[in-house]
Amino acid sequence: MTIDLETRQVNTIRGLALDAVKAANSGHTGTAMALAPLAHVLWTRIMTYDAENPYWADRDRFVLSPGHASMLLYSMLHLTGHGLTIDDIKNFRQFGSATPGHPEVGHTAGVEVTTGPLGQGLANAVGMAIAERHLRSRFGAGLVDHRTYAIVSDGDLMEGISHEAASLAGHQGLGRLTCIYDDNRITIDGPTTITLTDDAAARFRSYGWHVEEIGEVANDLDAIEAAIGRAGEVEDAPSLVVLRSHIGYPLPNSVDTPEAHGAITDNEEIAATKTILGLTEPFQIDDDVLEAFRAAGTSGSAAREAWERRLADWGGNRERFDACMSAAGRPGWADSLPIFPAGESFATRNANSKVIGAIADVVPGLVSGSADLTGNTGTKLDTDLMSAKKPEGRLIPYGVREHAMGAIANGMALHGGVLPVIGTFLVFADYMRGAVRLSALSNAKVVYVWSHDSVGVGEDGPTHQPIEQVASLRAIPGLRVFRPADANEVAQAWGVAVDADGPSAMILTRQNVPVLEGTEHAGQVAKGAYSLSQPASPAVTLIGTGSEVQLCVEAAARLADDGIVAAVVSMPCWELFEDQDQTYRDSVIAPGVPAVSVEAATSFGWSRWAGSHVSIDRFGTSAPGGQAMAELGINLDNVVAAATAAIS
C-alpha cells in the first residue's frame, strides 16, 4: 500500500518526537505524537508565516501552551526551515542545545513565547490577540492583519490563570484568537476523571467564546482544517476548537495512558510504532517529505514581501509606527519627562500617573491598565478604555485578574507594538509571581507598577501590607526593581524602563513623600544608587529606598547636630547599582565606613550593602499608616539610634 505524502509528513513528525525523546531519555512523547496531524494542518494549510523571516511583524502567531510537548514545535520548526538543524533535534534537552526541554523565546528561532508553566501560554495568546487588534485599529489592516493560534491542554484549563484569561478574552471579543483544546483526558496521575468533571465547552461558551466541538477527528486533516476555518470566520469572539485526541497514538501499548504523557523509551514499543509509521531509520525524513515542508515554510514569503511594500508606501506617521513596534520612545522622548521642584509632596503612585500622562504621546506604544485599581496605582491614562467596541483605547480594564494580567502583558510585549504597563498593590505581586518570573526569563518588556508598598498602607492591616515582596522580586534575575524616593526618581526610573530591554518594576507609595533636594539630576537613577549627601570623611552611611530616604536625610541632620557626619545614599534599584563598576560603587558606599540600610520591609538581602538595618522583619499591623510605620520601627529615632550603634 502506498501511503500518501501528507500521511508520511504527519508520521515524520511523530517519528521525530519518538526519536528525540528516546535519545534524551527525557521528555514528553505522547502529546507530540497525538497532535502531529493538528500541527501539520496549522503549519502547512492555515498559518501565514515566512520561515526565512520568522519575526516578520504581520505573521500569524503560534503558541504551544503545553510546553512540555516541545518536540511538536521543534519538529515543525526544523521541517519548515526555521533554522533548527537535525543535529539540534538529536540534541534535544542537552546542555547548550537550541532545543531545551520547554520552548524559550529568544533562544530558538520561531518560538514566540516561553511556555511550560501551564496556563501561561493561553494567557500569552490572549495578550497577542489584544495587541494585534489594538494595532490594527490604530494603523489599519494594511499593516496589521494576522491571527493568533494556540494549542492548550487539560492542564492549561485546570490552572486558575486560564479562567481569568479566558474570561477577559471573551469579554473583549477577541475574534482573531483560536485555541485548539487537546482533549486527551490524561494527566500524569491518571485519567482526568479523577480530578475534574468540568464541561470545558460550556464554560468557554459562558465566557462568550465561539466553541467548535469536533470530537474524534484527531487524524482527519480535512476535518481539523474545516473546524479551524469556521472558527476563523468568527470576528466578534475568540474561538475554542475542542479536539478529542488519544495521547501517544499510534503506540501499540501506551495510547491513552499516563505513561504516554512522559518519555516513551522502551525499544520494543518504539520499534513497533516505527513499523506502523512506515519509518525504518532513526530521525528519518524522506526527501519529498522535507521538500513539502520547506515549501510550506516559504509559502508566506510573497505575503511578507507585499506587506513590506505596503509599509514602504504607507502614508501614515512612520515615526509613531516604528516607536510602537519597538516599544520605545520617539526621538527626544525623554525631554517630556517631568521634573518636580524640591519641597512639593506627592505619593509616588500619583507621580507615576503624572509621568505616564506626560509621556503617553511620545511613547505611543504605551498601553496601561490595572487589576481594578487604576486610580489607586497611578496607572490611569487619559484615553478611552480598551473594549470590543473601542480596541484603540490605551487603558485596559483587566478586572481582578492579577495572574492573567501579568501573562497577558507578556503576550502583548512579545507580540510587539505595545509597551504594556500593569498595576496592582505590591502585596498582590504574589498572585502574579509566575508571570513575572516568565517576564524576566523571556526578556519581555513589561512595566509592573506595584503601589501601596509598605505598612504605610495603614488600616487594611497585614494582609495588605507587603513585607517580603520587594526582597522576593529582587531575587528574580533580569527584573529591574525600582523603589523611587520621590517623584523625580519615578520620572528617571521611567527613563530607564522605556529605553532598556526587559521588564521593570515600579514600587510606589500610597502616602505622600516630599520631593528631596538633589533628586532632580538626570542619570542618577540609571546608576541604581547615588549620593544625596557625601561629606568628606563620613562616620556612617545611611542607605535608603522609597519613602525611607527622607528619614535618612532627617537622621543625617540630627546626627550633624550631635557632631556626627553621615553620608546619605538613595538606592532606588539594586540591579542597576550592581551593574556599575567597583570604583563607582565605592564612591557611593565608602568601604570601611559603617553603613545602615533603612527600608520598611524585610532586611533580607541588605547584608550585601550594609552591616546594620532598620527594617520590618515581621508581618504588619492594622493602624493608620504613619502610626504603623512608627510602631514597627520605621522612625527617625530608630534610624539615629541604628547609626550611632553602627559607629560605636
Catalytic residues: 402
Provide the pairing of β-strand 239-243 with 366-370.
unpaired
Sheet holding 177-182, edge to edge: 61-64, 148-153, 177-182, 239-243, 210-215
C-beta atoms surrounding 645 within 10 Å: 12
Cβ neighbours of residue 54 under 8 Å, at least 6 residues apart?
Answer: 82, 83, 109, 110
- Contact between 149 and 62 under an 8 Å Cβ cutoff? The reply is yes
What's the CA angle centered on 173, arms 171 and 178, to 5 degrees? Answer: 115
Angle at Cα 31 formed by Cα 28 and Cα 37, nearest 5°?
135
Give the number of other Cβ atoms within 10 Å of residue 605's Cβ.
16
Long-range contacts of 382-388 (CB under 8 A, 24+ apart): 382/357, 386/130, 386/134, 386/172, 387/172, 388/171, 388/172, 388/173, 388/236
Q: Are 606 and 615 in contact (CB under 8 A)?
A: yes
Q: Rounded distance, CA 422 to CA 405, Å? A: 7
For 583-610, give the DSSP string. HHHHHHS-TTS-EEEE-SS--TTGGGT-
Q: Measure Cα distances from 184 to 3, 196, 261, 342, 587 in Å.
A: 26, 13, 10, 63, 61
Residue type, 492: Q
Residue showing cell 475568540: 238
